[in-house]
Amino acid sequence: MLRISNIQQNSLADKCGFKPGDIVLKINGYEINDIVDYLYYSKEEKLTIEYLRDGKIYKIGLINKKLKPLGIEFKYEKVKRCVNKCIFCFVDQLPKGMRKTLYIKDDDTALSILSGNYITLTNLTEKDFEKIVKFHLSPLKISIHTTNPTLRKFILKNPRAALILDQIEFLAKHNIEFDVQVVLMKGINDGFELDRTISDLSKFYPNIRSTAVVPVGLTKYREGLYPLEPFSKDDAKKVLNQISEWQRKFKKEFGTKLVFASDEFYIKAQEDIPGCEFYEDFRQIENGVGLLALFRRQFLGALKKLKPDYNLKKHVTLITGVSAYDFMKDLIKVFNRKFPNVKVDIVKIVNNFFGHTITVAGLLTGKDIIDQLQNVNIGDYILIPSCALNYENKFLDDVHIDELKEIFKCPVYPVENHGRKLLYYLLKGGEKC
Structure confidence by residue, pLDDT tens digits, 351-410: 999 999 999 999 999 999 999 999 999 999 999 999 999 989 999 999 999 999 999 999
CATH of the domain at 321: 3.40.50
Evaluate the CA torsion angle 60, 61, 66, 69 in order and state its sign.
Answer: positive
The total number of structural domains in the chain stands at: 3
Q: Has residue 270 been placed in a domain?
A: yes
pLDDT at 433: 39
CATH of the domain at 30: 2.30.42.10
Last residue within a domain, chosen from 246, 261, 289 = 289
Do both 115 and 150 map to the same domain? yes
Q: Has residue 82 been placed in a domain?
A: no
Q: Has residue 272 been placed in a domain?
A: yes
Q: CB–CB of 335/426 below 8 Å?
A: yes
Domain range for 108 is 91-289
pLDDT at 104: 85
Read off the pLDDT of each residue in 206-226 and give the average, rounded to a whole number. 96
Do both 320 and 424 map to the same domain? yes
Do both 51 and 123 map to the same domain? no
**CB-based burial of residue 249 (10 Å sphere; 0-12 exposed, 13-18 middle, 19+ buried)?**
middle
Do both 285 and 315 map to the same domain? no
Read off the pLDDT of each residue in 270-284 and give the average, rounded to a whole number. 96
Q: Which of 359, 355, 349 lies closest to 317, judged by CA?
A: 349
pLDDT at 431: 65
Q: Which of 406, 328, 404, 331 lies closest to 373, judged by CA?
A: 404
Q: What is the mean pLDDT of the chain?
A: 94
- Secondary structure (DSSP) of 118-171: -B-STT--HHHHHHHHHTT--SEEEE-S-S-HHHHHHHHT-GGGGGHHHHHHHH
Q: Has residue 420 been placed in a domain?
A: yes
pLDDT at 213: 98
Q: Has residue 24 been placed in a domain?
A: yes
Last residue within a domain, chosen from 272, 289, 306 = 289
Residues β-bridged to residue 413: 383
Do both 393 and 328 map to the same domain? yes
Q: Which of 86, 198, 88 lies closest to 147, judged by CA?
A: 198
Question: Residue type at 146?
Answer: T
Q: Has residue 85 been placed in a domain?
A: no
Last residue within a domain, chosen from 261, 289, 317 = 289
Question: Residue type at 55?
Answer: G
Query: What 3-state DSSP class applies to 54?
Result: coil
Q: Which of 206, 367, 379 lies closest to 283, judged by CA?
A: 206
Whether residue 205 has pLDDT greater than 90 = yes
Do both 285 and 304 map to the same domain? no
Read off the pLDDT of each residue in 414-419 and give the average, rounded to a whole number. 95
Q: Has residue 57 been placed in a domain?
A: yes
| Global model pTM greater than 0.85 | yes
Do both 266 and 156 map to the same domain? yes
Whether residue 204 has pLDDT greater than 60 = yes
Q: Give pLDDT tens digits for 321-342.
A: 999 999 999 999 999 999 999 9
| Angle, vertex CA 262, rays to CA 323 and CA 218, nearest 5 | 60
Do both 315 and 243 map to the same domain? no
Do both 201 and 254 map to the same domain? yes
Do both 232 and 102 map to the same domain? yes
Q: What whole-number percentage of the chain has pLDDT above 70?
A: 99
pLDDT at 33: 86
Q: Give pLDDT tens digits for 64-102.
A: 988 888 999 987 767 789 999 999 999 999 998 888 888
Read off the pLDDT of each residue in 211-229 and give the average, rounded to a whole number. 96
Read off the pLDDT of each residue in 168-194 and give the average, rounded to a whole number. 98
CATH of the domain at 276: 3.80.30.10
Do both 281 and 332 map to the same domain? no
Do both 279 and 300 map to the same domain? no
Q: CB–CB of 384/377 below 8 Å?
A: no
Q: Has residue 203 been placed in a domain?
A: yes
